[in-house]
Amino acid sequence: MPRSGGPRTVTDEQVAAVVPKTLESTPKSATHWSTRAMAKEMGLSQSTVSRIWRAFGLQPHRTETFKLSTDPHFVDRVHDVVGLYLDPPERALVFCVDEKSQIQALDRSQPVLPMMPGVPQRVTHDYVRAGTTTLFAALEVATGKVIGSLHRRHRAEEFKKFLIKLDQEVPQGLDVHLMLDNYATHKTPAIKTWLLGHPRFHLHFTPTGSSWLNLVERWFAELTNKQIRRGVHKTVQALEKDIRAWIAAWNTEPKPYIWTKTAEEILQRLASYLNRIHDSEN
């Protein structure tokens, strides 16, 4: 059946030439192709190159970072952590725990100019540092509520204080399962001794280089985007006051993050990705 519209101006041969050229080569004077450079190279118009790239999902101007875990216990830890999300134990609360360290109290060198119709809020490029604080946070997986604690330092001593706070706030009679990373402060002799005296606490470590498995990172991103990044704080105390207020407001209407991927799906997707990397190197 004939296609509707005007006649095609791009042949199959031209498409077949542009796609591998984009994927398998780079121009002499750049790290990636632009539509202008590819059009000149192939004798096509920029709009034609752009249409071909869109059709095949090619975006030479973009790049993304990735990190592959080298944890020898990666598979077991993925199963452990994902199992807590999808099948949490009874008579227990599950928390995602982490620290957001070195949160800076920043004051702009000039007053912030407010937003007006047609003009966004404007701030000076430079700023004055007033100090830093560290937020220890535990995101309750089932409800989305957050227990937070602010400290000026980031050591095992402060982490132990945070564990004590959790012990005080979680009702007795419930086990406490904490998902957290392999940071050294979580494994010191003092922490291990405290855990021995509090057997209802169970630590589940995410694989190294796998912060994406910890849902509290998504909550930290919301805190950063909605409170910290554009905040103006002349003192650390003012910064900490705003963080506490933001946590309190969050907990009035908490929003749990729902984990859906099974461990098998994660591992299968990772295996497929590794195979693509291997094939591209051969």
106: nearest Cα among 231, 257, 4:
231
Is residue 3 pLDDT above 60, yes or no? no
pLDDT of the residue at 8:
58
Mean pLDDT of the chain: 90
Mean pLDDT of 111-117: 81
CATH superfamily, domain at 74-252? Ribonuclease H-like superfamily/Ribonuclease H (3.30.420.10)
176-198: pLDDT as tens digits? 999 999 999 999 999 999 999 99
Nearest to 174, CA basis, from 141, 144, 145, 200: 200
Q: In which element (H, E) is residue 21 found?
A: helix 12-24
Calpha distance 169→147 (Å, rounded): 8
- What pLDDT score does 2 carry? 53
Locate the domains of the chain by residue range.
12-56, 74-252
% of the chain at pLDDT higher than 90: 70
pTM of the model: 0.80
Average pLDDT over every residue of 250-263: 96
Distance CA 221, CA 147 (A): 16
- DSSP conformational letter for 215: T
Q: What is the pLDDT of residue 29?
A: 87
